[in-house]
Amino acid sequence: MIKATGAELSGHRCQFTVWAPFRKSVDVEFEAPDHKAVHLEKDKYGYWSKEVANIMAGTKYRFILDGIKPYPDPASKAQPDGVHSWSAVVDEHNYVWGDSTWNGVALKDLIIYEIHIGTFTDEGTFEAAILKLDHLLELGINAIEVMPVAQFPGSRNWGYDGVYPYAVQNSYGGGTGLKTFVDACHQKNIAVILDVVYNHMGPEGNYLAEYGPYFTGKYSTPWGKALNFDDAYSDHVKAYFLRNALMWLDDYHIDGLRLDAVHSIIDHSAYHFLKELRQSIDELQIKNRRRYFLIAESELNDVRILEPYEKGGYGLDAQWTDDFHHAVHALATGEKDGYYQDYGKINHLAKAFRQGFVYDGEYSSFRKKTVGNSPQSMASSRFIVCIQNHDQIGNRMLGERVAGLVSFEMLKLMAGIMLVSPYVPMLFMGEEYGENHPFQYFIHHGDSDLAEAVRKGRSKAFKALKSKRKMPDPQAKETYNHSKLKWNFHQHPEQRALFTYYQYLISLRKQGLFSVFFKRHLDTEVHEQQKLLMVRSKDARPGIGILLVVFNFSKEPQYVNTPGFTEMWYKVCSSSDEHWRGKGCTSKVLLQKGERITVAPESMILYKSENS
């Protein structure tokens, strides 16, 4: 019933297949004048196909619908001339992989680093990104999350305006560039997670509706009509995206997918798209004898996303946990706009540290409703946390990073909370040294009216801020260039110190020091007035003992007593130490039972019991 679509090359013969159930005729035409157009044959499910001889990799083609207008292939694997032009045939078997010894990284051990290929380097290509892998290895990163690379309009975009899910962005280096990048990562023992978008398509170059009912008017989303996952003909639409997910994992050796905004994947059928996706990937895991991650972005705080099938869940491996970010950010910056109004107390941070979700069935003043359910049954490794990501930076009017919003001491405190926490940490590119270039919202639409609509939309969104500063023009190339990493942190003492601080905490994490928190075997003690949080592991572990960490968000030193059930406490790290270019910490390296700890302003201090 359901067929694979696109151009499948075998030798010098190519099978062209496209789903267009309501069209009366479909022809495939070629750019080369010596190739005549070929009429495709239709089956009863609306798939048009034909095998054509004398086709080679790189052959450019497009489909003519009803003999009137040509369009690119909706399952194109290459758009060398952009979203409006010819598709190109790709030879899937011409790349020789060198990652046969790659065994992957366990979910609980991931140290993730999110990158945008276009702004990660000056060149903005996969090839250039490979040259930065040794920097990430030195830092201690073992997983890279790549923002979407599906073909989008123009040469600069965040990637969420992609319109060809099967084609890799030509300006980044195309499919071969991505394979080379993944291969290089695996050879350096770094996993690759790819951000994919299955909740909407971009507005420019989106020709899916010309082919068939890929969208439904039953539901609306922030981007317009919803993708058709449960209306008439939805089996074929689901299959289109399911095959796409399997392609990234099987053909490109990607280790996992980050699923954008799953709350906007609307499917009320008995067999939800996310469940079908997980089960399809389970089958691929058995075939390839490899583990693949599925990580959701969701604003629902609903553990159904993570629950196994047997309990009515979708069985995804992990999800981004915005509550953790918001709790830390609101305390660190004092911001109360928008959703930050629901956060800002030490108690919020304590709850996020204990269980991930702050809103677990509680009323949200911002949303004006009760949000979430309890995550207590879930292992802490099922939650991805951060103190910055592309959304939280780029969706600010000026795209300021945290380094431009808080003091250097607070920056170290925030990093410490994330890296000590029970959850899987994710850094945003440049965070590890306090990059001070912003990460702004940018586009490169060929349609001037669409570009103007984006400008007006963002201007309206930020109107309430009443800022005297001008909003960056998202269409301007300088906005894109201004968002690129500088990579000159070695010239700045504070940035070098921040890098080594991150490096040290990551090394402690990889050594297993913070594993005492992983099963949430911890106690939290809240001092709201002092803006101070104490976290202590409940049970001693061999080689670790008991861990005690104190976070001070106030601008004054704070004083607390060490717990009295162990004889001695040994200081492991203080973010205010001179070693990290802090102002110095007066707390002793060794403390007696019950002795007072001095916690410097805007700092973190970490102790473990000496008798471990």
Q: Can you say which residues are annotated as belonging to the binding site for substrate?
A: 258-263, 322-326, 390-395
Nearest to 569, CA basis, from 540, 551, 594? 594
Asked whether 156 and 454 are in contact (CB, 8 A), the reply is: no
CA 428 distance to own-chain centroid: 9
Q: Where do the H-state alpha helices sit in 67-212?
A: 117-120, 126-130, 133-139, 174-187, 208-211
Asked whether 397 and 465 are in contact (CB, 8 A), the reply is: yes
Distance CA 237, CA 298 (A): 22
- CA within 13 Å, CB half, 266: 17
24: which residues sit within 8 A by CB, 6+ positions away?
Answer: 66
Return left, alpha or beta for 568; rule: phi > 0 is left, psi -120 to 50 is alpha, else beta: beta
Q: How far is CA 444 from CA 44, 152, 162, 455, in A?
A: 40, 9, 12, 12
Active-site choice (73, 161, 195, 297): 297
- CA within 13 Å, CB half, 535: 27
Distance CA 606, CA 173 (A): 44
The angle subtended at Cα 316 by Cα 310 and Cα 319, nearest 5°, is: 135
Asked whether 236 and 17 are in contact (CB, 8 A), the reply is: no
Distance CA 54, CA 149 (A): 30
The reply to whether 260 belongs to the active site is yes
Nearest to 326, CA basis, from 304, 305, 313, 341? 341
Residues in the chain: 612
Q: How far is CA 41 from CA 3, 19, 181, 214, in A?
A: 13, 11, 38, 21
- CA within 13 Å, CB half, 427: 26
The reply to whether 539 belongs to the active site is no
**What residue has token string 């599925």?**
294
Active-site choice (114, 260, 360, 577): 260
Distance CA 372, CA 383 (A): 14
Distance CA 417, CA 402 (A): 14
First CA to last CA across the chain, in angstroms?
Answer: 63
Return left, alpha or beta for 277; rule: phi > 0 is left, psi -120 to 50 is alpha, else beta: alpha
**What residue has token string 């993730």?**
112
Distance CA 500, CA 243 (A): 42
Asked whether 168 and 244 are in contact (CB, 8 A), the reply is: no
The neighbour count for residue 377, using CB atoms within 10 Å, is 11
Asked whether 495 and 485 are in contact (CB, 8 A), the reply is: no
Active site (catalytic) residues: 260, 297
